Amino acid sequence: MNDITNEKIKEIVENFTLNMFNIGADKTNFKILKMLPTDLKKVMKELDLTKMPANTRVNELEKVGLVKRWKGTGKVEPTDMTKDFLDLIEVIESKVEEYVKPQLT
């Protein structure tokens, strides 16, 4: 039987979450998330990427659960986690704006 402790589960979840933010918050990857649903050809064209870098980015996003890729079709779609991630970023942006805006005016 698997004896994973709650502490180990929390550590795994924390590492996965931080990796998701690292990958998802990359400026180019974030643009891909905001394009969803899309396909690989549009990603390549819109972001001026060749096939290999575009594939690498989509693969990274898929590994952390932020996109679902339909291999052989080029289709890239959001997951349930994508909306939650984008919503969370929007909340953070709003909080940053509340802090920064008064300092800029």
Domain of residue 61, residue span: 6-104
pLDDT value, residue 28: 98
pLDDT value, residue 44: 98
Look at the pTM and tell me if it is higher than 0.75.
yes
Q: Is residue 90 part of a domain?
A: yes
Give me the chain's average pLDDT, please: 95
User: Domain count of the chain?
Assistant: 1
Q: What is the CATH number of the domain that holds 27?
A: 1.10.10.10
pLDDT over 90 at 1, yes or no: no
Q: Is residue 1 part of a domain?
A: no
DSSP string, 13-61: HHHHHHHHHHHHTSHHHHHHHHH-SEEHHHHHHHHT--HHHHHHHHHHH
Query: Could you report the per-residue pLDDT of 56-86, keeping only the tens digit for each?
Result: 999 999 999 999 999 899 999 999 999 999 9
**Residue carrying the six token digits 């986690």:** 81
Lowest mean pLDDT among 10-14, 65-69, 71-75, 88-92: 71-75
